[in-house]
Structure 1
Amino acid sequence: MKTSSLAIAVVLFASGAAAQDLPQASSDWFTAGQATIEQRLALQPNTNRARNVILLNADGNGVATNYAVRLFAGQQAGGLGDDHVLPQETFPHMALVKTYTTNGQTPDSAPTASAMMTGVKSKNTMINVSEEVVVGDCANLPGNELTTLAQISEEMGKSVGVVSTARITHATPAAVYAVTANRNWEDNTGLPEGCDTQLDIAAQLFEGVESGLIDLAMGGGRRHFVPVGTTSEEGNEGTRTDGRNLIEEMEALGAQYVWNDETFGALTDLGNAPIIGLFEDSHMMYEHDRTGEPSLAEMTAAAITALSTNEEGYFLSIEGGRVDHANHAGNLHRVLTDGVAFAEAVQMAIDMTDESDTLIIVTADHEHAIAMNGYCGRGSDITGLCMGVNNEGIEHTGEPLLGSDGKPYTVVGYLNGAGSVLIEQEDGTFSGERPEVTNEEAMDPDYLQQALVPMSSETHSGADVAAYAQGPYAHLLGGSIEQNVLFHIMHHAMTAE
């Protein structure tokens, strides 16, 4: 009877034969796989107490979006993209994270950030509020406020910082310091009439600075801190109608205020006074368009430098907020350039900290309705057309694959959004067909990916996201977990005996 090579291999393994005896042992893939196993075997749990905890959240950077960022970064570096490794992907521990909320199969960023800050899930739209409260119900807010990781850190004597490329009053950064029955109450004009049980989010940031909870806050959203009739540094008017200029009030407390890259670069005495950076009236610029304001990596470096002056350590939340916004716009190029900027911030955090005493968790709050087409050959530009697989080599054939309509399609599309191929007609109905697109057109930074369902803004999805960790108690991250478990990992690492 003839013995197959597979059977021989099984026997070799069963008898304890060395892996190098296998016929595939000379393959680079095989040796790389063996090296990975050796690395995993050498892993030892780090059970030091975490002096510092850094939570990096790329808003909307789920598994599929992260995959696209990986390819883009690798292709920008001159490779095919697939085998590129993002900084967080070098971390030894990871898990898949379930992002649903108590009332939503698909979440928004308020309850997802709250889950990571408080250890419990809650309803869409609310921040750090018990699920017992009806969204927007001021009357039932008292007694249903949740204690946050930032508050616990401050009680332990640690410094607290929050950095975002979105408005600092937006859902994810607000979860560090605010409690609100509605994430949209960013200044006093959003509060419903008669709501006297909570302050608006910008006013809560002021209170956080005043009380010593917040030592550093950097992002956008200047308009929510300035009153109507007052012009900001960029010539725009504030939106507050209560007459308060919260920037001036924070400066009166001794805070250092910066608003562009020049004033940011001139920061002095890092760590000796609260630092407030408000670099745009609304969100900070996309990385592709950024000018006159610091990058996320630069803000990360300043935050770590400032907070590290506290011998008791710090908790720092860093958000790449505009990955989410570009996904909503259906504009893949800006998704990916902001994704790369976020990866640079992750690398900055790695380079500036010590794994022995700093827990770093890198994750996303949710995914988007982004989709990957097939069957693309390797090296197909991630923002371009899906090219054919080369049966005689590695890199794609250079010939775009065609749909049944005879037209090429891009590597990435969306299930819904502003790039929908269905166009509203005069009678209110929707119809249409996919337009022709060339590789050059698809790779234009302003191109909107083709989508199916017509919507002015593409939606989130309920798909899992990944979380990566290194440092003290990073080994607690694993398997498929609920999003609120991330709080418990960070809390345990900070308080472990």
Structure 2
Amino acid sequence: MEIKETDTLWIISIIGLLLLGNVTSAVAADGNSSNNTDFTDSVDCKSRAGSEAEIKNVIVLIPDGCSQSVETLARWYSGKPLELDNMVTGTVSTYSTDSIITDSSSAATAFAAGYKTTNGFVSVGPSNSSVLSTLEIPPEELQYRPLATVLEGSKLEGKATGLIATSRVTHATPAAFAAHVDNRDNETEIMKQMVYENIDVVFGGGSSYLTPVAEGGKRTDEENLTKVLLDRGYQYVDSRDKMMNLSTGRAWGLFASSHMMPDIDRSLLAPEQPSLSEMTGKSIELLSQDKNGFFLMVEGSQVDWADHANDPNYAVTDFLAFDEAVKVAVDFAKKDGHTLVLVFPDHNTGGMTIGSNSDSNYTSTTVEDVIAPLKGMKLSSAGVAAKMGTDLSSENIKKQLKTWWDIDATDDDVAEILELHTNGENLSLDYAISEVISRNHTVIGWTTHGHSGDDVPLWAYGPDYPTGHIDNTEIAGYIAKELGFDLNKTNSHLFIEVGEVFSTDNGDGQLDKNEYLLNVTDSSNPVLEIGDAELPVSTNILIKNGVAHELEGIVVYAPATGKVYIPVGALSLVNGTKINGIQRAAAA
């Protein structure tokens, strides 16, 4: 039986009500044992500051894996106040569904989509297999369900959108704003979803995930996504100079096949790459041309990696590069008057302290004791390890440490480095170098090479910014409210579970107009078939009668549950009804 337009509208209205109930059930406010949070109510209970000007643009900046100690050290190192020093407004809790200590993907899901989720998940609902004792078990319907993000909501509002990272753009934090997978390492799928999300500006690393293996890339689905971008009218650039020459329009700029260089290594090892502040400035220049406003996320990705490595100079220099990007954003916000700038780490990494076991006489610690060892460092620990290469003789290790870090390493230092790298903990060479040199030649202490579960700072500038202590899930609802949309309604608009609307294939050899089938003949390119319509998974394309139509969102397949989710607009195209009527009904 064919679904009529009036029937379709009725179904969508019912689904919307059901989803609004289901979707709100997994957000956990800090200190609550319940997972039920209404986005609008949660943000109203927070103190706010700043002017009451209408917010048209939101810029989110994230120094990944950062703590207050990094900011403090950066201030001592630079010898002057930081841009962020005038912006401290509160703190943010960071735990995930299954752990006090979050990873970047679950943390980013919280502030991009407003949900606690499982570590390793990217903007999909949590698994029920492991949940903190202080949280309620999330409802079955939420497991692995794609969760709408503030970037997707902004796009539906007609705003321009942008993502910037110094990592691969498919890495956990940027991925959570534009993709929906249950494994953060599935970066080929993440890249495909990002390309088909129609983001206006994307700058960072990771070009190898655009091209097939046969062309030197990482893709096993044989799709050349660079060609897709060009066919869609994007400008594609791969160097600083080309990026700086952009003046208008939509653009992708990927400046490394994998991650971009640490800021301290960039001038020496990759001078063709732009700085984070340059990428931020160019993105704002392009996005601000949209009369409806914009949403932009900027990640200083590598503060985290520096802290993982226990490399204080790498951490400080990348944080200072991040602070310069913050200044670019704030300078724009000051002139514009309708831009909210929100800055916060996703979690702490490394547990840096200014003071260590080697600093036993702390009452006489000087500024020089803190910064002098760092000032002689000209490369990151990864850069020094690369200079050492395979020659791990005592002579070469000492030579490279003296040349690039101005450290007079001792025989004991070399023995400790080799013990950690080859005989003991099997640490990577850069981790072993920085751990030993931090311990023996600086007053900077570390508690771990991993993440920690403490709260992180909240910095803000602009109209109506939040203050006090908030949970990371509250940030998404706050952004959505300020930009004029409701994430619950965005969820019900972008992600209709196909089985709620259509019947599964009855196996008679053909699909009726109200039947669907997930065709996995090509496992790398599954296709949802509904009647005579085809919807390739992880794209925003619906093909019917040989004509390709662009949808407002992407088709998402959740392998763990076997469910497929499609935007509301796909229903009207499948059944030949008017798309505008469908959209109005869904938003009502």
Fold similarity call, TM over 0.5? yes
Distance 2:480 2:243 in 1: 32
What's 1:129 paired with?
124
Aligned residue number for residue 326 of structure 1: 306
Which whole-Å CA distance do the structure 2 matches of 1:329 and 1:436 have between them? Answer: 7
* Deviation (angstroms), 1:384: 4.5
Q: Is the 8 Å Cα contact of residues 66 and 304 (structure 2) preserved in structure 1?
A: yes
**In 1, distance between residues paired with 2:191 and 2:463?**
33
Write the mapping of 1:456-471 to structure 2, written as runs, cut at 5 A: 458-471=449-462
Task: Determine the C-alpha separation between the residues in 2 that align with 1:173 and 1:287.
Answer: 19
* Equivalent in the alignment of 1:181: 182
Equivalent residue, structure 1, for 2:273 = 293
> CA shift at 1:70, angstroms?
2.1
- Aligned match of 1:144: 145
What is the CA–CA distance in structure 1 between the aligned matches of 2:435 and 2:172, rounded to whole Å? Answer: 38
**1:87 corresponds to 2:83:** yes
**Residue 69 of structure 2 is aligned to residue 68 of structure 1:** no
Instruction: Work out whether residues 333 and 341 of structure 2, in 8 Å CA contact, stay in contact via their aligned partners in 1.
Output: no
Q: For residue 478 of structure 1, report the CA deviation from its aligned partner.
A: 2.2
Offset at 1:117? 0.7
- Measured on the aligned residues, the alpha-carbon RMSD in Å equals 3.4
Report how many aligned residue pairs link the two structures.
Answer: 372
- Determine helix, strand or coil for the equivalent of 1:48: coil
AA aligned opposite 2:214: G
- In 1, Cα distance between the equivalents of 2:50 and 2:330? 18
Equivalent pair of 1:129/1:181 in contact (CA under 8 Å): yes
In structure 1, the residue matched to 2:109 is 114
Correspondences of 1:261-272 after superposition (within 5 Å)? 261-268=240-247, 270=248, 272=249
Q: Give the C-alpha shift of residue 435 in structure 1.
A: 12
Indicate the residue corresponding to 1:365 in structure 2: 346
* 5+ long unaligned stretches in structure 2: 1-47, 131-139, 375-413, 427-432, 487-588
Structure 1, gaps ≥5 residues long:
1-42, 75-83, 188-199, 231-236, 387-417
Give deviations 1:111-138, integer Å, cap 9, x for gaps: 1111111112111110111124669xxx
**Residues 249-275 of structure 1: per-residue CA shift (max 9 Å, x gap):** 11111100011122223324x2x2x21
Q: Give the structure-2-normalised TM-score.
A: 0.58
Q: Which amino acid aligns with 1:177?
A: A
Report the alpha carbon displacement of residue 219 of structure 1 after superposing the two structures with TM: 0.4
Aligned to 1:34: none
> Which segment is superposed worse, 368-377 or 458-467?
368-377
Q: Partner amino acid for 1:372?
A: I
Return closer, same or farther for 1:241/1:478 CA change in 2, 3 Å cut-off: same
User: 1:50-449 to 2 correspondence within 5 Å?
Assistant: 50-74=55-79, 84-91=80-87, 94-132=89-127, 144-187=145-188, 200-209=189-198, 214-230=199-215, 237-268=216-247, 270=248, 272=249, 274-290=250-266, 291-354=271-334, 356-369=337-350, 370-373=352-355, 375=362, 377-384=365-372, 423=419, 442=441
Contact 1:260 1:279 in 2 (8 A): yes
SS at match of 1:157: coil
CA distance in 2, matches of 1:128, 1:244: 24
SS of structure 2 residue aligned to 1:481:
strand
Aligned residue identity for 1:176: F
Q: Distance in 1 between matches of 2:314 and 2:292?
A: 38
- Per-residue displacement from partner, 1:74-114 (whole Å, max 9, x unpaired)? 2xxxxxxxxx42112212x5111111111111111001111
| Distance in 1 (alpha carbons) for counterparts of 2:437 and 2:464 | 49
Q: Quick check: which one's helix share is greater?
A: 2
1:424/1:45 Cα in 2 relative to 1: closer, same or farther (>3 Å)?
Answer: closer
Equivalent residues in 2 for 1:9-24 (5 A)? Answer: none
2:76/2:371 contact within 8 Å kept: no
> Equivalents in 2 of 1:425, 1:47: separation in Å?
55
Using the aligned pairs only, state the percent identity: 32
**Equivalents in 2 of 1:302, 1:435: separation in Å?**
34
Q: Distance in 1 between matches of 2:240 and 2:423?
A: 50
Sort the Cα spacing of 1:249 and 1:451 in 2 relative to 1 into closer, same or farther, 3 A: same
- The residue identity in structure 2 corresponding to 1:238 is G
Structure-2 change in CA distance of 1:491 and 1:382 (3 Å): farther
Q: TM-score, normalised by structure 1?
A: 0.68
State the alpha-carbon separation in 2 of the partners of residues 298 and 435 from structure 1.
29
SS at match of 2:243: helix
